Amino acid sequence: MSRFRSLLIATLLLGTAALPAAAESIYNRGNSADPESLDPHKTSTVYEAHILRDVFEGLVMQNATSDLIPGVAESWTVSPDGKTYTFKLRPDAVWSNGDPVTAEDFVYSFRRLEDPATGAEYASMLYVIKNGEEVNTGKAKPEELGIRAVDAKTFEVTLKSPTPYFLEMLTHQAAYPVNKASIEKFGADWIKPGNLVSNGAFTLTEFIPNDHIKLVKNPKFHAAGEVKLDVVNYIPTEDRSTAIKRYEAGELDSNDDLPTEQLADLKKKFGDQVKLGPYLGTYYYAIKTDKAPWNNPKLRRAISLIIDRDFLAEKVWQNSMLPAYSMVPPGIDGYTPAEADYAKTSQFDREDEAKKILTDLGYGPGKPLKLEIRYNTSENHKNTAVAIQEQLKPFGIEVSLINTDTKTHYGHLEQKGDYDYARGGWIADYKDPESFLGISRKASGNNYSNFDNAGFETLMDEAAAAGADPAARMKKLAEAEKVLVDELGNMPLLYYSYHEIVSPKLKGWEPNVMAVHPSRFISK
């Protein structure tokens, strides 16, 4: 070899060695609150769903535009009667520890969700499965749930009746598989970093409460080659104003909420980085319907009549929300929401009716009505509660406000703690009215109001039984919603729009009515 060639090769080798390693692609993702849990069977909020969607994968999932895509199941078939679904699991689906994901994993997971000992808020979601309710209420054995592993890679589900939204329902975190061996080994600690075995695009490596949750790319994920991010840091941002400052400083690449009182200024400052659009969700107040005096529907109606939703939408939320008079928001194909009968009545006339109700019930200067409103930390929720407090004050209603962090707030509601009115928000788990109405069923773990109405239950049962006739089903659901709205089992206030801020550095963030943005489709 000539001296020239030797020098050339040495130079090339040195140059290669001197090249810096490719920088990690890190997404710092603002998330409105810390999760109460990372156990898919013990969660209920969108803040938790964002994280779990990255860490786990169900039979089916949602893509960047919230459309249904295959997950662990690469394909499925439905029986002619619409009751039996047979899922073929992809051969390359494995857990983060390398073990295969099997049909038995889904059998174990679905049974765990329905096991009364689990205490899953979303157990009622699987009541559409044969014997789902019976297992969850202890009237049937877990083995009687309408599911089975045909073989290692074939999972079969038998429903009570045809359920049009069943596949979309399976995108919810409650339907994700959990790792039996990990749970049996670590018990309640199975969800901690180092213990958590999952099957999604990312794995959990750190969880420091009130600081961050670190996820790293899962090299064993079947579509790992398509995942562009190396790290996703979920950063809790209950203080929206502080979140904007952190975004401006480059500490956050996005945040899932904005301080709406600053919305006009933010749009001027950040332009199209501010993302606004329709969001399939309802902002409501849960009411303790089994507690005096709120167990009187007339009194609940009086409160609802007084609240000026136009003012809340226009002034408090800066037109980033719409006034709501139904629990189901507009935008679901084939369904017309059942609005309150005063939706088109003037605010002046509403207030006159409210005054009469309050007088008839004996409330007045000598007998003031006291009402407590609970809300979770957020300038937006505080401003809403303060506005309602001021609207009720002229009618002799003394409102006190209680603010707690999000985890404490929802924990209190889930544990059926004492309260009068409490802020709630419901985002569609699937694009169907049942997602919004099912939370008010007696058996639902999300029935914070403890609403219990036989007529409503009957109509919901009739809607479920009419699954094979879409028009008849939607009619029954609308009738059920009318009962819920008239009785004020919950008090709808506003229809959501999403209002987020997203750095132009991020690619793959797609607007959609579910506000679903899986990190596996995002790059930076």
Please give the share of the chain, as a percent, with pLDDT higher than 70. 96
CA distance 466 to 165: 13
Instruction: Give domain status of residue 251, yes or no.
Output: no
Q: Is residue 129 part of a domain?
A: yes
303 Rama class: left (phi>0) / alpha (psi -120 to 50) / beta = alpha
Do 480 and 346 belong to one domain?
A: yes
- Using left for φ > 0, alpha for ψ between -120 and 50, and beta otherwise, residue 72 falls in alpha
| Residue 293 and residue 188 share a domain | no
Q: Tokens 């709205």 sit at which residue?
A: 485
* One domain, residues 472 and 435: yes
Of 327, 316, 308, nearest to 449 by C-alpha is: 327
Q: What's the CATH number where 153 sits?
A: 3.90.76.10
Residues 464 and 515 occupy one common structural domain: no
* Same domain, yes or no: 112 and 194: yes
pLDDT of residue 346: 97
Do 486 and 356 share a structural domain?
yes
**Which residue blocks in 187-341 are alpha helix, DSSP H?**
240-248, 263-270, 297-306, 309-311
Other residues' Cβ atoms within 10 Å of the Cβ of residue 107: 20
Same domain, 456 and 363: yes
Kindly report the pTM of this predicted structure. 0.89
Residues of the domain holding 117: 26-223+503-521
Q: What pLDDT is attached to residue 19?
A: 41
> Is 257 contained in some domain?
no
Q: What is the pLDDT of residues 35-89, one digit of tens each?
A: 999 999 999 899 999 999 999 999 999 999 999 999 999 999 999 999 999 999 9
Taking the C-alpha atoms of residue 30 and residue 267, their distance in angstroms, rounded to an integer, is 18
Residue 31 lies in a domain: yes
17 has pLDDT over 70:
no
Based on its alpha-carbon atoms, the radius of gyration of the chain, rounded to whole angstroms, reads 25
Q: Write b or e for each residue in 391-406: b if 16 or more Cβ atoms lie within 10 A of its Cβ, otherwise e.
A: bbeebebebeeebebb
Distance CA 438, CA 425 (A): 14
Together in a domain, 197 and 291: no
| CATH number of the domain bearing residue 283 | 3.10.105.10
Tens of pLDDT, residue by residue over 104-159, are 999 999 999 999 999 999 999 999 999 999 999 999 999 999 999 999 999 999 99
Q: In this structure, is residue 203 part of a structural domain?
A: yes
First-to-final CA distance of the chain: 46
Query: Do residues 153 and 291 both lie within one domain?
Result: no
Number of domains in the chain: 2
> Would you say residue 390 lies in a domain?
yes
Task: Say yes or no: 348 and 467 in one domain.
Answer: yes
4 pLDDT above the threshold of 50: no
Res 130: pLDDT: 98
Contacts of 187 (CB under 8 A, 6+ apart): none
At 11, is the pLDDT very low, low, confident or very high (cuts 50, 70, 90)? Answer: very low
Residue 22's pLDDT band, with cuts at 50, 70 and 90, is low
| pLDDT tens-digit series, residues 355-370 | 999 999 999 878 999 9
pLDDT tens-digit profile of 150-181?
999 999 999 999 999 999 999 999 999 999 99
Q: In the structure, what pLDDT confidence band is assigned to residue 6 with cuts at 50, 70 and 90?
A: very low
How much is the pLDDT for 21? 52
Whether 436 and 305 share a structural domain: yes
Q: 243 lies in a domain? A: no
Across all residues in the chain, what is the average pLDDT?
A: 94
pLDDT in tens, 460-511: 999 999 988 999 999 999 999 999 999 999 999 999 999 999 999 999 999 9
- Same domain for 287 and 158: no
Any domain includes 392: yes
409 three-class SS: helix
In three state form, how does the secondary structure of 202-245 look? EEEEEEECCCEEEEEECCCCCCHHHCCCCEEEEEECCCHHHHHH
